[in-house]
Every structure is written in C-alpha cells, then in structure tokens.
Amino acid sequence: MNKYKCKKLQAGYYEYRGYEISSFESNYGGGITIAWNIRNLKNDWIDDTVNTKWQAKDLIDYYHKEGITNS
C-alpha cells in the first residue's frame, strides 16, 4: 500500500514526493486530451509527460525506488 499522498497546490497542480504534477491540454494524436507533466522541484526540470495523474505518481514512485534523479 502506498503511504504517499498528492498535495493539491491549485487546480491542475499537485506536489508528490518532491515533484510537481501539472495537467495541460494536448492535441497530440489528433484530439484534445489532458496530459500530465512531471517536474522535479529541486532543479526545475520536466522529467516526463504521461497520460494520467495515476501514471505520473507511479513513475515518481519508480524514480524513488530506483534512485533516479536529474539533480
């Protein structure tokens, strides 16, 4: 069970384990969809973009498990 929680900063912006997860509208693939950026708060680097907030949290958990950082 995951003990970490997303902290809502404002609509579409969340903080999770030292990363900011932010939503944006994407037209990749021909239609407007919501995608999510993962930004490292320590170095202001966008690490990745995923389709759902759940995937963003899962990827951040993976970064922590594997010790992956861009700092």
pLDDT in tens, 21-66: 999 988 877 778 889 999 988 887 777 999 999 999 999 999 989 8
C-alpha dihedral, 29 to 47 to 67 to 54, nearest 10° = -50
* CB atoms closer than 10 angstroms to residue 42: 11
Say whether pLDDT at 1 is over 60. Answer: no
What is the widest separation between alpha-carbon atoms in the chain?
37
For residue 31, give both structure tokens: 């239609």
Q: How far apart are the first and last CA of the chain?
A: 28
**Whether 14 contacts 21, CB under 8 Å:** yes
pTM of the model: 0.82
